[in-house]
């Protein structure tokens, strides 16, 4: 079945350093890929989505490229801030089925120290 595997956390960084959270996926479909972010006490919220292979999504300095060849969708940010501390989820969407059913990775907790 469909699955998502991402960097196991927690990841601890100092402010101003770069971030990479690895994500790989398995599916026989043609999915849309998402990154969601969850701040303490809140539900997951969409960071950005990429519906097509070989395209890049970005928001708030975060970016990821939908690489169909390597089935990867790694999240990157050049310079993290303390406010980026949160849990990041790589998510696979069932675009073909058009049901809104999402497959979540386990989540990667990012802690940014000042």
Partner 1 sequence: GPKVLQIPSHQIIDMGQMVTLNCDPVSNHLYFYWYKQILGQQMEFLVNFYNGKVMEKSKLFKDQFSVERPDGSYFTLKIQPTALEDSAVYFCASSLVVETLYFGSGTRLTVL
Site for partner 1, rule CB under 8 A: 32, 41-46, 49, 51, 89, 93, 95, 97-107
Q: What does the alpha-carbon distance between residue 45 and residue 110 come to, in Å, rounded to a whole number?
A: 15
Closer residue to partner 1 in complex, CB, 18/29: 29
Q: Is 59 helix (H, G, I), strand (E, B) or coil?
A: strand
- Residue number, 45 or 79, with CB nearest to partner 1: 45
Nearest distance from C-beta of residue 114 to partner 1, angstroms:
26
d(CA 4, CA 106): 8
The least distance separating partner 1 from the CB of residue 54, rounded to whole angstroms, comes to 19
Q: Which is nearer to partner 1, 15 or 53 (CB)?
A: 53
String of DSSP letters for 69-95? TTTB--EEESS--GGG-EEEEEEEE-T
Shortest reach from residue 99's CB to partner 1, in Å: 5
Give counts: helices (H), strands (E), the chain: 0, 12
The distance of closest approach from Cβ of residue 14 to partner 1 in the complex, given in angstroms and rounded to an integer, is 27
Query: Are 49 and 57 a contacting pair, CB within 8 Å?
Result: yes
Of 42 and 69, the one with the shorter C-beta distance to partner 1 is 42
């Amino acid at each position: 079945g469909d699955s998502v595997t991402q960097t196991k956390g927690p990841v601890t960084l100092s402010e101003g350093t770069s971030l990479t959270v690895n994500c790989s996926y398995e599916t026989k479909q043609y999915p849309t890929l998402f990154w969601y972010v969850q701040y303490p006490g809140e539900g997951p919220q969409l960071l950005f989505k990429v519906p097509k292979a070989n395209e890049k999504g970005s928001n708030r300095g975060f970016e990821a490229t939908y690489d169909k060849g390597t089935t990867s969708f790694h999240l990157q940010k050049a310079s993290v801030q303390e406010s980026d501390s949160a849990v990041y989820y790589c998510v696979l969407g069932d675009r073909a089925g058009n049901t809104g059913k999402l497959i979540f990775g386990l989540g990667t907790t990012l802690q940014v120290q000042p």
